[in-house]
Amino acid sequence: MTTPLLHVADLTKNFGGLTALAGVHIEVRSGTIHGLIGPNGSGKSTFINTVTGVIPPNSGQIVIDGRNVAGLRPNIVNAAGIARTFQNLRLFKAMSVLDNVLIGEHRHMGYGLGSALTMRNGEAERHVKDVAMGLLADVGLAHRAEAISGSLPYGEQRLLEIARALATQPKLLMLDEPLAGMNPTEMDRVVAILRRIVARGVTILLVEHAVRVVMSVCDRISVLNFGRNIAEGSPQEIQGNEDVVVAYLGRRRHVA
């Protein structure tokens, strides 16, 4: 079996006397969409926050493409290849759509000696703008490039946050409930975009409450409950797993 792009082992996070993650183990294979689901309070957002360096773990390994980033700062984790979006939008709402994506590119916009030898500053600026416009086209927002971000409908703001995360050129994109507040048509649009992102070489970890979408788009799914792994497998295996049914419904399925 190939080495996973993301390998998380024995990940534990305590908040005082509360254990939010208790020895969580998840592996995400390169080139896939990996779902992470569970009831409210199961530890999904804590998992993302810990993996991306927003909060430090108490113990455990977080290995991205062979590098252990457990406990490192978010900017270092991002440089190692992990980008993310948030449950609550964190756009620069007074800035343009294009400028939000350009901010995401800042790590790749240096004008040092190497850049100076290959292109003039004006050419470099045009290049990063072209890249940003390409990312906006990927999420269907190129025509909104000059709009103020805060003026966009909620669903388009979600798409803009995805484009900005992609601007950091990640190996792994972690999406924290990107479909929240969307109608079925908007959800279908995002699903199509996620499939295009993976086809272009970016792996996705999808945390989402819209279980129907998760089952349709994910290659594998991990399930947390009370900060612990309770299941992992294909969508078909997860749908038939009794522990998952109990976690969501609070009871076993009745068999006549």
Q: Where are the alpha helices (DSSP H) in 61-171?
A: 74-80, 97-104, 113-118, 121-138, 154-166
Percent of the chain with pLDDT strictly greater than 90: 73
**Residue 251: pLDDT over 70:** no
112 against 63, higher pLDDT: 63
How many whole angstroms separate alpha carbon 58 and alpha carbon 160? 33
Percent of the chain with pLDDT strictly greater than 70: 89
Question: What confidence score (pLDDT) does residue 103 get?
Answer: 87
Among 147, 157, 161, 151, residue whose Cα is nearest residue 98:
147
Cα first-last separation, the chain = 40
Question: What confidence score (pLDDT) does residue 109 get?
Answer: 54
Sequence ranges of the domains in the chain = 1-81+170-256, 95-169
CATH of 1-81+170-256, one of 3.10.20.30, 3.40.50.2300, 3.40.50.300, 3.20.20.30: 3.40.50.300
**Residue 119: pLDDT over 70:** no
- Mean pLDDT of all residues in the chain? 89
**Residue 86: pLDDT over 90:** no
Q: Model confidence at 180, in pLDDT bands (50, 70, 90)?
A: confident
pTM for this predicted structure: 0.89
**Residue 13: pLDDT over 90:** yes
Q: Are the CB atoms for 171 and 82 separated by under 8 Å?
A: yes
Q: Model confidence at 87, in pLDDT bands (50, 70, 90)?
A: confident
Query: 153: alpha, beta or left, given left = phi > 0 and alpha = psi -120 to 50?
Result: beta
